Structures are given as C-alpha cells and as structure tokens.
Amino acid sequence: MHVITIDEPVLAAKMTEDYKQLILPFLDQHVKNLAINLSNIKNIEAPFAIEMVNIQQSFYEQNASMVFFGLSKELRIFLDELEILDVINWTPTESEAWDIVQMEEIERELLN
C-alpha cells in the first residue's frame, strides 16, 4: 500500500486535474492500493470531493483499494452534508486504513 499525504490546506475545484494526474498512475503499478492522508486538509470544495469519489470508484473497478484517513470533524461534517461521507472509504487512522486494504485484498482473493 502506498500512503500519500496531501499538504495543501484547501482542496479547490481547480486542483482536481492535478489530483487525478497524481493518483491515477498508481493503477499502473504493481502495488495499486492507496491510503490518502487528509489530516492537513481544512477545506474541500464540492467538485473536488465528488472527484475523490469518482477516482476511488476507478480503483475498485481495477481491483485496487483506496482509503482516506485523518479527516477532521469539520471535514467529515462537510462530506456528510454532500452525502459523500457514506460513499467514500475512510477511517480515522493510517493503521485502520492498512487493515481495510488487507481485508479488501483477502476479499478479492476469495472472490476470484
């Protein structure tokens, strides 16, 4: 699993293309699973949050996992208001993100 920490305090709509260019190439690597650390994020604009969901779905379609962790309470409230919190795969800590990735890997193995 790769862990990416985003250091920007605000994830603006205009940053979605840069995010896609950073994240999607991991699908071409041997280790495709990602954990995205959002602990430094103070605000996400709605279009960026929607793109997070779309990219996460791309990972699942390619039999890879993407887990977000470190979301602040304010960020969770905002994503919940957008009805995204229940859609994205998130957990409080990196350790729990690792556990989710491992469980999803086992599930994929069992289903194949």
Match domain 2-111 to its CATH number in 3.30.420.590, 3.30.750.24, 3.30.70.270, 3.40.50.2300: 3.30.750.24
In the chain, where are the structural domains located?
A: 2-111
What's the predicted TM-score (pTM) here? Answer: 0.91
Summarised one tens digit per residue, pLDDT across range 80-100 is 999 999 999 999 999 999 999
**pLDDT given for residue 111 in this prediction:** 85
One-character DSSP codes across the chain: -EEEE---SEE-GGGHHHHHHHHGGGGGSS---EEEE-TT--EE-HHHHHHHHHHHHHHHHTT--EEEE---HHHHHHHHHTT-TTTS-EESSHHHHHHHHHHHHHHHHHH-
Share of the chain above pLDDT 70, in %: 100
